[in-house]
Each structure stands twice: as structure tokens, then as C-alpha cells.
Amino acid sequence: MAKNYIKGGLKAIGNYGATLIIYVILFYAFMAITGESFDTWLPLYSCIMFVIMAVLLYTDMWHLAVKEKRPQYELSPYPLKGLVLGLLGVLPLVIIVVLGYSIVLSDEVLNALKLFVVERVILGPVYFIIALFNKTIIGYIVALLSIPLLAMLGYIFGYYGIQLGAKVKIKNEVSYEKKQELSPWNPAKKVMDEGKKKKKK
């Protein structure tokens, strides 16, 4: 049972990690393009990455819930399991943030660089939430909790079989086509007409 939870938690942090890789790869290019306006545009860049992460995490949790509901797995899933998996998954990020702000380096430059890496790189995909709350403790808590909340939503929707964006199937009315009349020059038409005359007699 514990193994199942660990795998689920790894799925959650794995989706965040995949998004973080994309974030880091494009980060230098973003810095070069924005230049002095880097701080102004960073929340928007972060928000775009958050959307990517949300789609990956939601989809993964949705499919996990659908899979775990199958009787053959005997896992006894419950609707809020996604929240638990998300909290397990976000735990490494919480540890990094706590250590990042607890350890104070003697060199001011290195200390500023450390905070930059923690705040704007490692927490990059959720940085816009932190910025929204003016970089307060509440902002960090909400930012970190957004990951398990997304995992919870994905799992709940998968558990109940709800698909977001699914096409609504419209039942087409059955239409009965009239039989196409045969051409008077068609030999089959003459045979059919003769048959009708014989029946009348």
C-alpha cells in the first residue's frame, strides 16, 4: 500500500519536474528577450509554465484514478487520494524552500544568488502566485499547496469519470430516406410494373 502512495507522489512531483525542465531550458532566452523588464514579465512566464504543469498533473492524476478504480487492482481508492499524493509529491519542494531560507550564507552575493535560484528557478512554475501575494509566507504556502490541489482535482474527476472538455455527443435523429425511383428506361422498372399488373389481375 505504501509503495502505491510513493509511486503516486512521484507522479505528482514528476510532472512538476518535467515542467521545471522546460522552464529552465527557456529561462535564459526569456531573460535575454525581456532584459531590464525581466521582473515585470516573469510572473507571466511563470503562469504559462504553471498551465503546462497543471495540464500534465491533472491528466496524470485523472488516468491514475480511472486505473485504480478497476476491481482487479484491489486498491480501494477514495476521492481525496489525489490530495494525499499531491502532498507527498510536494514535500521535496517544501524541504528545499525551508532549507533555502533557513541557511544564511556569509557572502551577500552568494546568499542573493541562492534566494534567486530557490524563488525564481526551483519555484518558477508557481512563482506568479508568490508574486501575487507580494512574496509573503502566505504566497509561498498557497503556491506550494496549488500542486496537491491540482492533483486532488485530477483524481476526483477521474474517480467520478468526469472529463473536462469532452465533446457532448448529440443523438442524431434517425432519418428514413425514400427509395429512389427507377428510371422508366431501366429494364428492372418494366419487370416491376409487369409484376404489379399481374397482382392486380
Q: How many residues does the chain have?
A: 201
Average pLDDT for the chain: 86
Sign of the alpha-carbon dihedral angle for 30, 98, 92, 53: negative
Under the phi-then-psi rule, with left for phi > 0, alpha for psi from -120 to 50, and beta for the rest, what region is 161? left
Alpha-carbon span 143 to 124, nearest angstrom: 10
Task: Read off the pLDDT of residues 165-179 as tens digits, 9 standing for 90 and up.
Answer: 654 343 443 343 444
The three-state secondary structure class of 78 is coil
Task: Identify the CA nearest to 92 among candidates 1, 21, 6.
Answer: 6
Alpha-carbon span 156 to 198, nearest angstrom: 71
Question: Does residue 46 contact residue 124 with C-beta atoms inside 8 Å?
Answer: yes
Task: Read off the pLDDT of residues 23-46 as tens digits, 9 standing for 90 and up.
Answer: 999 999 999 999 999 999 999 999
Task: Identify the CA nearest to 152 among candidates 60, 47, 70.
Answer: 60
Task: Identify the CA nearest to 11 among candidates 164, 158, 120.
Answer: 158
Q: What is residue 179's predicted lDDT score, i.e. its pLDDT? A: 47
Alpha-carbon span 165 to 175, nearest angstrom: 29
Task: Read off the pLDDT of residues 63-75 as tens digits, 9 standing for 90 and up.
Answer: 999 999 988 877 8
Expressed in percent and rounded to 5, the helix, strand and coil fractions of the chain are: 75, 0, 25
DSSP code at position 9 = H
- Cell numbers describing residue 119: 524563488
Task: Read off the pLDDT of residues 122-168 as tens digits, 9 standing for 90 and up.
Answer: 999 999 999 999 999 999 999 999 999 999 999 999 999 998 765 43
